[in-house]
Amino acid sequence: MSKSHSIWSSLFWLSSSDSGFADVLENAFQRYGEFVGRHPTPFVLGPIVFTLLIVFGTVNMHVVDDMRELYTPPGSLSLKEHQLHSRFSTAGNDSASEAFFVGVALNDNGNLMQYNYTTAIDRINDYVLKNLTLNIHGTNVSFDREICSKSVLCRESNHALGLIIDAYFDPKLRNNKEVNLTYPVANVFGNKIYLGGLFGGVAVCNGRIKEVKLIHLMYNYPTFNNATIIKTFEKALRRYLSSLESTGLQFNSFSSDILKSEISRTATYALPYFPVSVALLTALLLSVLYTADPVTSKPVEGLMGLANSLLAIGAAFGFMSLLNIPFNNTVTVVPFITLALAVDDTFILLAAWQQTNPSLCPERRLGLTLKEAGTAITITVMTDIFSFVIGTFSSTPAISSFCLFTVAAILFDYVFQLTFFCAITVLGGRREAAGRHCLWYRIRPASKSSLLRPKVALTSDRDVQPVSASSNLQRVNPGQRMLKLWYKAFWTTPGSRWIAMTIYVLYLGISFYGTCKIRINLTPGHLLVADSPLKRYVWLAENFVYPQGFVAYVYILNAPDFRNRTQTLRFRNFLAELESSTHAVGSDSTTLWLDDFSKHLEHLGAEDEEFYDYLYDFLKLSSKAHWRSHLHINEKADKPVQQFYFTTGFRVNEWVLRADMVSQWRSISAKYEELQPVVYDEYNFIADQVLSLKTTTLQEVGVAFCCMFLVCAVFIRKSDLLFWVLWSLFSMDMGVIGLLTLWGLDMDPTTVISILMSIGLTVDFTIHMAYHYYRCPVQQTERKMLLLFDLAGWPLIEGGMCTLLAMLSLVFVPSNVATVFFRTVVLVVTLGLFHALFVLPVLFTLTK
């Protein structure tokens, strides 16, 4: 015995004997099964009544579809940054603020810098800021006077647009030497105007603006923590824009509230396809469970297994709603996944039933069925639950909610399998014992199987009689019979196992390559259905705005004393570092009141001590009054300027680069903590998610794999088998991740959920085959593999087909969420069957 083998043996109490926890569990299942068999009625009615009562909890379902709330870890910096931004922009009245964006473009992405287009856009902006009226609870409210005037940022919305239009189309201004319409920074009579975020898709000629494909209007307005203001403002503005279609302009709106509505469309698209999945599974169950013998066939029992899963889904959603667990768009896929996971157990139980001696009474057969299949099902349920329970502790709320719903559905399905479905099975056994037709109870056909039943009764509780294709063909599905012949050919063909291993090594190489290529990427577009109107806005922003430049707001919450040169220099150093960071446009893009005022002081020849005295006069000048809104001033304080903000430009080509950009912002800010600087962009929360996603994913996958290891170690107490089971789990999960990457998917929260799901699904394939291999007393390889095909292989194939059919309807859902889950399931089923039927048995036999 090798040293490593002895270590494994001592660590997991392994021995070659069959005694252990599994035996105790098997005996308990047998006694329980016999009890259910004697009293099936309450076990049928109980789950039905319970579900009908608890499903009413869905009336109180709490729906969350705010992208910031769903994908931002609680307590993250971006949430605090958003609160500070709202507080500052609303003059400290603690009102929340919202941003509404309008991307104005032409259908052909043509040039907007034509007089009729630009003046129309300027008039639209002017109308919104001065004349737009909201109808709030039947009362007309002026957006300008009652809402916009209360916010610093709202009053200055798109203020540069009119200046640039006048300078561009007025020949006198355009040819003036003091007017320089360059991009991204224009200079009009000594005033720098940063155009990043306002103009997109800009082409220049000799440094001057020649073409603009997108004019990006932004309205940052206070909501006073009133959702009605958000809805009425957006409704009024969108109605107004829709009335302007005759202008030839295309208006593409975007806001958090619109994004919520569009995200919820995933549920609207996906749920109507759930009955399609049920119908497909019904057809499959009827086809594979109806054999040539109408007495021993189990189509009705199979349909009741499907009903068992539907009861579990209803109970889970009702229970989670009663606990006020939020529902989000990813939870839409939970019913499909529950069907995919749960119906497999139906096949395992029915396969075990068919292996029992038909001459025994139904309650005895159910006891032996649960003894054979109960432990295997328990193992897979435990591993499924562990893989998703780990996800419930995720720092991403969307992942946590999804996993909670899935865990509840799996638990209810397991309980209902051991109650409702077992009772249905024993009732079917009574029908079978009475020789009744599987579909038409009153018909009593001449059962062909009665002549083919085993002549030897069970000699012990362990005796589960295998149904061989030669002795009992009537009870075997034709598909099973054909695949079994192919499986037999594999095991009897010389060199076939080495060919399988060669293919496996190639698979490992491709999977490893794909895993190394994975990249993290989270964009709003990933959460939208394919025909969402927001897709157009996101495309315009990603191609025309963010790569060329956008505005970030920089808040200084503890202003330096500008009479102190040391403190002023510290602020200047902070500003210089920010302007020279990797993604910064540069100092020309900065709009800072201090720059303008410093020139004013220099012109007057003022001393440092006179800084605040001259500041009050400076802000009273009509041409400088706009700076007043950038400062929070307390004239009674020793240091009158308490806080202030400025803007500066940045550019990023990809969403994932925002994480690096935001990390630099925070790193620079940390060096100047006495200033309490905060650099804010609307999408800082995406950066937080990207920054935490890789670490949390590795942690969750690692913990899930360790849980799988512990569960398998309890039930498979042979070190060599346990090693290959764990290796196969690792191999399949690496394959799912690697091949998803090569299939064009990036790492985002939906992919993380899919990976956690794949860990649970892949265990189902390996553990059933490994557990039956471990418990099978047959030693001759070919006979053992053919017996395992009946006990585990064919049920896994049936379960795999069910899993695919359960998720197949998601192909028709034009959503990235549905696409990720469907592709994951395709890979899991394909790789799971390949490992369970070929890789794992070959590894067992080659290292025997």
Report the pLDDT value the prediction gives residue 120, as an integer from 0 to 100.
Answer: 92
Output 285 or 561, whichever has higher pLDDT. Answer: 561
Q: Is 204 in contact with 183 (CB distance < 8 Å)? A: yes
Using the predicted structure, report yes or no on whether residue 123 has a pLDDT greater than 70. Answer: yes
Residues 235-267: tens digit of each pLDDT? 999 999 998 876 789 999 998 888 888 877 877
| 40 pLDDT higher than 60 | yes
In what helix (H) or strand (E) does residue 40 lie, and over which residues does it extend? helix 40-54
pLDDT band at 494 (very low <50, low <70, confident <90, very high): confident
Q: Does 46 score more than 60 pLDDT?
A: yes
N-term to C-term CA, the chain: 13
Whether the pLDDT of residue 746 is over 90: the answer is: no
More confident residue, 12 or 777: 777
Residue with tokens 């670490």: 695
Contact 643, 555 (CB under 8 A): yes
Three-class SS state of 461: coil
Q: What's the number of CA atoms in the CB half-sphere (13 Å) around residue 479?
A: 13
607-647: per-residue pLDDT in tens?
878 898 899 889 888 888 878 888 988 888 888 999 999 99
**What is the rounded CA–CA span in Å between residue 385 and residue 405?**
11
Per the model's pLDDT, the better-predicted residue between 93 and 541 turns out to be: 541
Q: Check residue 317 and give its pLDDT.
A: 95
Average of pLDDT values for 684-703?
77
Tokens 């064009």, residue located: 744
Confirm if 324 and 62 have CB atoms less than 8 A apart. yes
Residue 17's nearest CA partner among 781, 769, 787, 774 is 774
pLDDT at 590: 92
Cβ pair 328, 398 in contact under 8 A: yes
Question: Is 109:171 a contact under the CB 8 Å cutoff?
Answer: no
Kind plus residue range of the DSSP H or E element containing 252: strand 250-255
Q: Which of 71-80, 352-361, 380-389 has the highest mean pLDDT?
A: 352-361
In this prediction, residue 8 has a pLDDT band, given cuts at 50, 70 and 90, of very low
Q: Do the beta carbons of residue 227 and residue 251 sit within 8 Å?
A: no
* pLDDT at residue 460 greater than cutoff 50: no
Q: Of all residues in the chain, what percent carry a pLDDT higher than 70? A: 92
Does residue 649 or residue 375 have the better pLDDT? Answer: 649
Structure tokens at 462: 């362990």
Task: For residue 101, list its beta bridge partners.
Answer: 218, 254
* Long-range own/partner contacts, residues 494-499 (CB < 8 A, 24 or more apart): 497/842, 497/845, 497/846
The candidate with the shortest Cα–Cα distance to 78, out of 567, 517, 705, 689, is 689
Higher pLDDT, 190 or 660: 660
pLDDT of residue 65: 74
Name the residue ranges covered by the structural domains of the chain: 20-65+264-444+483-516+716-846, 96-263
Enter the tokens of residue 580. 């020279």
pLDDT of residue 467: 43
Which residue is associated with the tokens 């700076």? 627
Question: Which sign does the torsion angle of CA 380, 384, 389, 391 carry?
Answer: positive
Mean pLDDT of 536-544: 90
Give the pLDDT confidence score for residue 251 in this predicted structure. Answer: 93
Angstrom distance (rounded) from CA 791 to CA 501:
24
Return the higher-pLDDT residue of 716 and 18.
716
| CA atoms of 357 and 96, how far apart (whole Å) | 70
DSSP 818: H
pLDDT per residue over 207-224, tens digit each?
788 899 999 999 988 888
Distance CA 283, CA 299 (A): 10
For residue 82, what are the CA distances in angstroms to 150, 620, 723?
Answer: 18, 31, 49
In the predicted model, is pLDDT for residue 304 greater than 50? yes
> Which residue type is seen at 139?
T
Residue range 147-181, pLDDT digits in tens: 888 887 788 888 889 888 988 888 888 788 888 88
Question: Does the structure show a pLDDT above 80 at 232?
Answer: yes
Residue 95 is predicted with a pLDDT of 57
* 20-65+264-444+483-516+716-846: CATH, from 1.10.240.10, 1.10.287.110, 1.20.1640.10, 1.10.1740.10: 1.20.1640.10
Residue 9 has pLDDT above 70, yes or no: no
| pLDDT of 16 strictly over 80 | no
Distances 646 to 146, 191, 407, 586, 592 between C-alpha atoms, Å: 25, 15, 48, 14, 5
Judge whether residue 20 has pLDDT over 70.
no
DSSP string, 543-601: IIITTT-EEEEEEESS---TT-HHHHHHHHHHHHHHHTSTTB--GGG-B-HHHHHHHHH
Whether the per-residue pLDDT at 320 is higher than 80: the answer is yes
DSSP 628-679: GGGEEE-TTSSS-EEEEEEEEEE--SSTTHHHHHHHHHHHHHHHTGGG-EEE
Region 338-354 average pLDDT: 82
pLDDT digits (tens, 9 = 90+) for 615-625: 988 988 888 88
What is the predicted pLDDT for the residue at 457? 35
Q: Residue 4: pLDDT band by 50, 70, 90 thresholds?
A: very low
Q: Is 487 helix (H, G, I), strand (E, B) or coil?
A: helix
281/701 Cα distance (integer angstroms): 30
pLDDT over 80 (residue 86) = no
CB 99 within 8 A of CB 154: no
Distance CA 509, CA 214 (A): 46
| Local structure of residue 417 (DSSP, 8 states) | I
The CA-based angle 836-837-841, given to 5 degrees, is 80
The residue that leads in pLDDT, 101 or 344, is 101
CA gap 55, 661 in Å, rounded: 47
Select the highest-mean-pLDDT range: 94-98, 266-270, 486-490, 738-742. 738-742
The two counts, helices (H) then strands (E), for the chain are: 32, 15
Token readout for 298 is 């189990």
Contact assessment for residue 353 and residue 465, using Cβ atoms and an 8 Å cutoff: no
Nearest to 186 by CA among 209, 153, 205: 209
pLDDT band at 459 (very low <50, low <70, confident <90, very high): very low
Q: Is 756 in contact with 701 (CB distance < 8 Å)?
A: yes
pLDDT of residue 451: 38
Among 97-101, 794-798, 834-838, the range scoring the smallest mean pLDDT is 794-798
- Tell me: pLDDT of 450 over 50: no
